[in-house]
Structure formats: C-alpha cells, structure tokens
C-alpha cells in the first residue's frame, strides 16, 4: 500500500510539472547573465540581481507568463559567444542592427538609451561647441570610448580615422572609464548618459554632459535564434504592449530618473 502511495505521489508530481510547463506562454525558460552595468544591471548588497533593466525584464516576463532565469556574471566575450550558440538565451538593451538580426530575435523596444559625451566640469565649457566626431578629430581631442557596442553612425563613420590618429582610448566598464578620465588619461568620455552620471556620482566626480548627442536609440530584449521561437517574441511583445499601455514600465523607468 505504501509503495502504491509513493507511485501515486510521483505520478501526480510529474503531471503537475508537465502541466506547469504546458501552461507557460513561452516555449521554454530563458536565461540571461548578470553583468556589472549599474544602474541597469548589477548585484545588490544582498547578492541579488538588481537594476533598471533587471526590473523591466522581470516585469515583462511576469506579464507574459514566461520564465526568466538570471545566472551569475559571465565575461562579455564569453557571454556573446554563448548567446550565438544558444547556451545563453537573452541579452538586454540591444540596438537592432542587420548584423545582430543574423543571430537574434528582437522584441519591441522597452526603453530608450542615450549616448553622450562628457567632460570634467572644470573643462566642459571648452568643448561645448563640439557637434560631431569630425570636430573631435580636428581638435585632436583624446576620447575615452567603450570597447564594444553601437554608438551611432557618426561614430562608426569616424572610428577608423580616430583610431588611426591615436585619438581613442578604450575602457571595459564605466568604473574604469571614469577613473581614466579623472586621472587625465582622456579629455572626453563617451557612454550611456545615465550610467556615466550614476558612476560619476558614486566616485564623487564632478561630470558634465556635453550638448552633442551621438546616438539616441530604442533598445530591445534580444533572444538567441538558437533558443527562442518567433511565437516567443510575439508573446513578449504582447506583454510589453500591455505594460506600456498600463504605464507600469514607465513607472519602473521613472524610479531610475528616466522619462523616456
């Protein structure tokens, strides 16, 4: 009798597990990796995933009735390779480009990302008239730039010329980049405006964003074509649409100071 009871319990448990997966709106759970990119993605004091993009992604997956698994931090190059082979299913804050469409599906945008140039406040007035990367080249300004990513067509068009004249220095993360700027290893720094200001405040650096905006793009969740289906994207898109209509995504963005 006891053996029958155990078998019955196991059978019920299996059916509940199958039912749970069958009722999920996405084809499978999707995983992403943490990275050190505050205030968008980071690990809080309790060791838990935190940040604007984490909250937005969790809200979208919750609304879609899909499962999001957040794994520990993975180095950038390895993260990209894992995404391409489908081991890592999702990347955050992706700008849609023809090259990325070869390996990824893109959801509807869930926020806007603004790329800016910044200088130490004491020097900023001398660079307020810059309106292009050609201006930087003509003035022989040393620019600190992220070592990967899309930062607008003007930057892409001038990248080779800037690099050829040694007018570029690269940084891995905002913490490193702002330390380089503060130590005089660059004149201007380029990056996400919110992330630059967040890190400058943390390091107590008096930073000023310049008027020129190299890029202002809508960003998306990007899911690996090796992991997700087109139906999964439609499910997530419907969730984003509902959350934008209800104002819930806007409320999350506003708590981080974003009105876009």
pLDDT one-digit tens code per residue, 9-38 = 434 343 334 334 434 799 999 999 998 899
**Residue 178 covered by a domain:** yes
Same domain, 120 and 191: yes
Q: Which domain holds residue 125?
A: 113-216
**Residue 180 covered by a domain:** yes
Same domain, 147 and 184: yes
Same domain, 206 and 232: no
Same domain, 25 and 153: no
Dihedral pair phi/psi, residue 62, rounded to 5°: -65, -45
Q: Could you give the CA distance from residue 195 to residue 86 in angstroms, rounded to a whole number?
A: 28
Are 221 and 57 a contacting pair, CB within 8 Å? Answer: yes
Of 161, 160, 182, 180, nearest to 170 (Cα)? 180
**Residue 260 covered by a domain:** no
Same domain, 227 and 149: no
Q: Could you give the CA distance from residue 105 to residue 5 in angstroms, rounded to a whole number?
A: 46
Least confident of 1-10, 53-62, 163-172: 1-10
**Residue 105 covered by a domain:** yes
Of 44, 46, 43, nearest to 35 (Cα)? 43
Same domain, 118 and 55: no
Same domain, 83 and 105: yes
**Residue 86 covered by a domain:** yes
* Beta strands 188-192 and 143-146, pairing class: parallel
DSSP characters over 207-228: EEE-S--SEEEEEEEEEETTT-
Same domain, 57 and 158: no
Q: Could you tell me the pTM of the whole model?
A: 0.80
What does the pLDDT look like over 180-211, one tens digit per residue? 999 999 999 999 999 999 999 999 999 999 99
For residue 257, the number of C-alpha atoms closer than 13 Å in the C-beta half-sphere is 8
Tally the domains of the chain.
2
Q: Domain containing 212 — which CATH number?
A: 3.40.190.10
Same domain, 52 and 91: yes
Same domain, 125 and 167: yes
What does the pLDDT look like over 43-86, one tens digit per residue? 999 999 999 999 999 999 999 999 999 999 998 889 999 999 99
**Residue 57 covered by a domain:** yes
Decide: helix, strand or coil at residue 163.
helix
Using alpha carbons, list the distances in angstroms from residue 176 to 25, 33, 38, 146, 169.
41, 21, 13, 10, 12
Torsional class of 190: left (φ above 0), alpha (ψ -120 to 50), beta (otherwise): beta
Same domain, 106 and 129: no
Using alpha carbons, list the distances in angstroms from residue 40 to 55, 143, 195, 234.
9, 24, 8, 24
**Residue 167 covered by a domain:** yes
């Amino acid at each position: 009798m006891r053996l029958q009871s155990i078998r019955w319990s196991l059978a019920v448990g299996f059916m509940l597990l199958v039912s749970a997966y069958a009722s999920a709106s996405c084809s499978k759970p999707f995983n992403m990796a943490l990275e050190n990119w505050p205030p968008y993605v980071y690990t809080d004091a309790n060791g838990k995933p935190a940040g604007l993009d984490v909250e937005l992604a969790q809200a979208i997956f919750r609304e879609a009735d899909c499962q999001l698994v957040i794994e520990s931090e993975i180095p950038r190059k390895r993260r990209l390779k894992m995404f391409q082979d489908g081991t890592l299913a999702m990347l955050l804050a992706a700008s849609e480009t023809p090259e990325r469409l070869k390996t990824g599906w893109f959801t509807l945008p869930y926020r806007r990302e603004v790329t800016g140039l910044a200088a130490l406040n004491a020097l900023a007035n001398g660079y307020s008239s810059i309106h292009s990367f050609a201006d930087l080249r003509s003035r022989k300004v040393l620019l600190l730039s992220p070592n990967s990513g899309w930062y607008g067509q003007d930057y892409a068009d001038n990248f080779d010329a800037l690099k050829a004249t040694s007018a570029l220095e690269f940084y891995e993360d905002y913490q490193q980049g702002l330390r380089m700027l503060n130590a005089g290893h660059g004149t201007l720094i380029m990056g996400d405006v919110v992330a630059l200001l967040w890190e400058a405040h943390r390091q107590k650096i008096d930073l000023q964003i310049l008027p020129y905006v190299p890029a202002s793009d809508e960003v998306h969740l990007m899911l690996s074509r090796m992991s997700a289906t087109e139906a999964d994207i439609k499910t997530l898109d419907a969730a984003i649409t509902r959350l934008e209509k209800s104002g819930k995504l806007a409320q999350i963005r506003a708590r981080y100071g974003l009105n876009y």
